[in-house]
Amino acid sequence: MSRRVRISLGVVALALVVAGMMAARGQLALPAALSPDTASAEGWTPPKTPWGDPDLQGIYNYGTSTPLQRPQTVGGKPVLSDEEAQALQEQIASRLNRDRRDGGAQADVSRSYNEIWMDPARMRLTADKRTSLIVDPPDGRLPARVQRQLTPEEERERAAADLSTRRFNTGFQESYRDMDVGNRCIIRRRNEGGGHPYLPAIYNNMAQIFQAPGYVVIYSEMIHFSRIIPVDGRPPLPGTVETWLGDPRGRWEGDTLVVETRNFHSSDGIGRTGVVYGNANPKTYRIVERFTRTGPKTVSYAVTIADPETWTKPFTIMVPWNQTDEQIYEYQCQETNYDMYHWLDGARDREKRGERFNPDAPDARAGDGAEG
């Protein structure tokens, strides 16, 4: 949790993109007819850097309450009416309000990070009133996961990871290995905000884009990391070279920055402590992101995710980025400098009192990073 107070204002922009597979070339691409319109703002021309590249620089907020997947309750409707959107937004604002004091003591404890820490943009639907951030498949839902037989090694790794998660959730950590890289504020985890894909969270929905000749840098507020993206045509790293953030390579397609990233760190073999989305296979996981300035204060962000060993087909997410005059504050995460000791000491103290780890306890599976 970043140790600072800020009120961020975000106005969500209208943009619509979908993704398709170009089978002949084996590339993840957007149909040209559905690419963002860079000249949508009347009398506006997309700016250029002094060296001639499209200028995407600025600080952006991508917070929104629009869910990743389309809720079953909307009956397959891709866009809400004005009245439906207003009603849903009011419901979401009430449900997410952490200054409420109803629901009893346990609910009060769960709201210990109150509204002063939160991003107000998370209360607002996208301006186009979409019912999901997923725009492809058309049903707004994640594709089915691939069903395959795990190898004996993968079975052991998955069982060990599951047991470690249960120990952490119930407060019986055995070693530092039961606290993953996200718990320790080293780097963002899978399914967490602030990384690629950039998905909205309850706070820290901020990113800053810098540019220099041959490079684009995207600095994320959440766990303060920077992606340095070459756009000079250099070849990708060999497949044997893995990094936590993957190996990004960018190119310009008109006014759109296209970034393809692969070679993610394999971690424990099933992505538990890596940054790949949805516990995908880091060796076969890749993403293609598209950043297009659609107005003086808006950028369309579309990301197509593919992993043939995890999902039956690629899918595309669209998250509006809205430029803000706010600054990005340092994400210190100071509490985690002490949590390692507190977690382990607390677990040993409980054992001295005769308490024992129960892997089947009701809270053992809570917060395991499952897709939603």
Q: Quick one: pLDDT at residue 33?
A: 35
How far is it, in rounded angstroms, from Cα 331 to Cα 60? 16
Residue 29's pLDDT is: 53
**pLDDT digit string (tens) for 18-71?**
333 333 334 555 443 345 555 556 788 999 999 999 999 999 999 999 999 999
Which of 135-149, 178-192, 301-315 is least confident?
Answer: 178-192
Q: Can you give the pLDDT at residue 11?
A: 30
In a domain, 180, yes or no: no
> What count of Cα atoms within 13 Å lies in the side-chain half-sphere of residue 16?
11
Report pLDDT for 279.
81
Q: What is the mean pLDDT of residues 273-289?
A: 86
Distance of CA 21 to the CA centre of its chain: 22
Give pLDDT, residue 20: 36
Residue 230 lies in a domain: yes
Token pair belonging to 231: 């756009």
Residue 190: band (very low, low, confident or very high) from pLDDT cuts 50, 70, 90: low
Under the banding of pLDDT at 50, 70 and 90, the label for residue 273 is low
In a domain, 147, yes or no: yes
Contacts (Cβ under 8 Å, ≥6 apart) of 52 = none
Give the residue-averaged pLDDT of 225-239: 94
pLDDT of residue 184 exceeding 90, the answer is no
124-164 confidence digits (pLDDT tens)? 899 999 999 999 999 999 999 999 888 898 889 889 888 99
User: Percent of the chain scored above 70 by pLDDT?
Assistant: 82
Find the mean pLDDT for residues 79-103.
Answer: 88
**Number of domains, the chain:** 1
Q: Cβ distance 200 to 193 under 8 Å?
A: yes
- Domain range enclosing 194: 20-151+188-335
Distances (CA, A) of 196 to 123, 175, 199, 205, 275: 22, 29, 8, 12, 8
pTM over 0.85: no
Rg (CA), the chain: 21
Residue 332 has pLDDT above 90, yes or no: no
Residue 180 — φ and ψ, nearest 5°? -80, 180
Between 259 and 88, name the one with better pLDDT: 259
Is residue 15 within 8 Å of 41, Cβ to Cβ? Answer: no
Number of other residues whose CB lies within 10 A of the CB of residue 127: 17
Q: What is the mean pLDDT of residues 223-229?
A: 87
Q: Quickly state the pLDDT bin for 311 (edges 50, 70, 90).
A: very high
* Mean pLDDT for the chain overall: 83
> Which carries the bigger pLDDT value, residue 269 or residue 219?
219
Say if 281 falls within a structural domain: yes
- Name which of 82-86, 219-223, 289-293 the model is least confident about: 219-223
Percent residues over pLDDT 90 in the chain: 48
C-beta separation of 322 from 60 below 8 A: yes
- Tens digit of each residue's pLDDT (9 = 90 or more) over 50-63: 999 999 999 999 99
Whether residue 36 lies inside any domain: the answer is: yes
Mean of pLDDT values over 169-192: 79
282 domain residue, yes or no: yes
Among 24-28, 229-233, 317-321, the least confident range? 24-28
Residue 324 has pLDDT above 50, yes or no: yes
Average the pLDDT over 77-99 and give the result: 89
40 CB neighbour count, 10 Å cutoff: 14
pLDDT at 372 over 80: no
- Using an 8 Å Cβ cutoff, are 275 and 245 in contact? yes
Give a yes or no: residue 368 inside a domain: no
pLDDT at position 41 is 62
Query: Which pLDDT tens digit goes with each residue over 357-366?
Result: 999 998 887 6
Q: In this structure, is residue 183 part of a structural domain? A: no
Output DSSP code: residue 106: H
